[in-house]
Each structure stands twice: as structure tokens, then as C-alpha cells.
Amino acid sequence: DIVMTQSPDSLAVSLGERATINCRASQSVLHSSNNRNYLGWYQQKAGQPPKLLIYWASTRESGVPDRFSGSGSGTDFTLTINSLQAEDVAVYYCQQYYDTPQTFGQGTKVEVK
Amino acid sequence: QVQLQESGPGLVKPSETLSLTCTVSGGSINTYYWSWIRQPPGKGLEWIGYISYTGSTKYNPSLKSRVSISVDTSKNQFSLQLSSVTAADTAFYYCARQVGSQWMPYYSDCWGQGTLVTVSS
């Protein structure tokens, strides 16, 4: 299985500041046939199902605010939340879909400082 | 707007079979991949497996011997069965739609609200 490791486990950021979450895969999730990174990011608010934010490592899902951005390639990826809003308090997960079983990171909890 | 809704018993006895159904509304089940994902309370996400619109399935090897996913296109539903459950199977179970190619599923763009299944005598 591809192991996904996120860092940090939690972080507290002041409103309006930037939050950065890292995700590392135990092997590359970059597919050579199409040069795409098979990596997604999800946001899960308390009591709700996960919501897709980013796919192909950097493509924002329709309706997702542009303060959310994804970057990285191969094994190292980053989710950045620019200008944190109160409604961004949640747990964020990365997921690889390069291979089955699809696997998730352990989650990063984002809180307001 | 596609919506997914899980249904099934919230309490299952140890050694019995957990059965859940996901009803898809607002779109056809005859496209995409359809998957189950679970989350123990307060913990992370575990992908259980999927069924494709062609009926092909793939399961997480950690559960493979106990899990089965099927589809009923006439009802626009797909189902999960997990046999020989233990307390470790207590979790929120989510159904989800996965975008994919003809060969494999990619990301999950639509999720049900989830249902808590507790394994206890």
C-alpha cells in the first residue's frame, strides 16, 4: 500500500493568515503516461462528510474558494489556505488514487489561533 | 445535483454481517465508480472498495475476504456487505461517487452524509 503521511497533525492559525499542510507519499504518485499526480485533498468539518477541494494535486474543484491551492509533484505535496477564514476550521486529508487500495493521510486539524 | 444517501441498521452484533445500501438520486448510476469509505469515530478515513458502472469490483486487501459490493441499476442503488464483523468495524460508513477512467477510479467528488454502524452485542 502507498502510505500517505501528513504534517503537522494540527495547527492553529490566526484569521487572515496562511495555513500550510504537507503530505508525503511513500512512493511517487506521478503517472508517467499523462504527467498527472494522482493526489486529492479533502476538507471535513465536524459532523460532516469529507468534501473534495483539490484533485490532480492542483486543480480546484468547482465552487471551492481560490484561497485554497494545491502544489507539489511526485511524493511531496502541499495544501495552502491563504487568508484563513473561520469557516475553514476542519480536518484536511490528502488521498492518493494512483493505486488501489486508495489511501488517505492521517489528517491535519486546522484551528483558529 | 447528484445526492447519495446511506441506509441500513445502525447496530450489528459481533460475527454477523453488516449490510448498507446507498441510494443515488439526481443522476444515473450507470456511469462513474461507486465506492464505500469508512471512518471510526474520531479517526481517519479507510477506503473499503468500489464497483464500477460495468460491474467490476475492487476491494481493500485488508478487508477483501469479508467484503462485497454490488449494484442494482434498476433502483439506482449500490450496496455493501461486510461479514464476520467485530468491534473494530464500528465506524461511520460513507458511500461516494468516484470520477475515473475506463480503467480505474480517481477522486471522490460526491459523498453521502454517512451512517454510524456500531458493532455490539
Q: Does B55 touch chain A (CB under 8 A)?
A: no
- Count other Cβ atoms within 10 Å, centred on residue B116: 13
Q: Does B116 touch chain A (CB under 8 A)?
A: no
B53 pLDDT above the threshold of 90: no
Q: Does A70 touch chain B (CB under 8 A)?
A: no
**Averaged pLDDT for residues A25-54:** 97
**Averaged pLDDT for residues A57-86:** 98
B98 pLDDT above the threshold of 90: yes
Residue window 10-39, chain B: list those with CB within 8 Å of chain A. none
A113 pLDDT above the threshold of 90: yes
pLDDT at residue number A10: 98
Q: Which of A28-32, A103-107, B28-32, B116-120 has the least mean pLDDT?
A: B28-32
Report how far residue A113's alpha carbon sits from residue A13's, in angstroms, rounded to the nearest whole number.
Answer: 5
Q: Cell triple for residue A30?
A: 506521478
**One-character DSSP codes across B37-67:** EEE-TTS--EEEEEEETTS-EEE-TTTTTTE
**Averaged pLDDT for residues B71-87:** 96
Closest approach of chain B CAs to the CA of A106, in angstroms?
6
Q: Angle B94-B100-B105 (CA atoms, 0-180°, nearest 5)?
A: 55
- C-alpha distances out from residue A11 to A6, A45, A94, A108, B8, Å: 12, 15, 16, 8, 36
- pLDDT, one tens digit per residue, over B29-49 is 888 999 999 999 999 999 999
- How much is the mean pLDDT over chain A? 97
**Residues of B with Cβ-Cβ distance to A55 under 8 angstroms:** 99, 106-107, 109
Q: Does A105 touch chain B (CB under 8 A)?
A: yes
**Residues of B with Cβ-Cβ distance to A50 under 8 angstroms:** 45, 94, 108, 111
Report the SS3 class of residue B15. Answer: coil
- pLDDT, one tens digit per residue, over A13-25 is 999 999 999 999 9
Q: Is the pLDDT higher at B53 or at B42?
A: B42
Q: Given A51, A55, A100, which is nearest B58 (Cβ)? A: A100
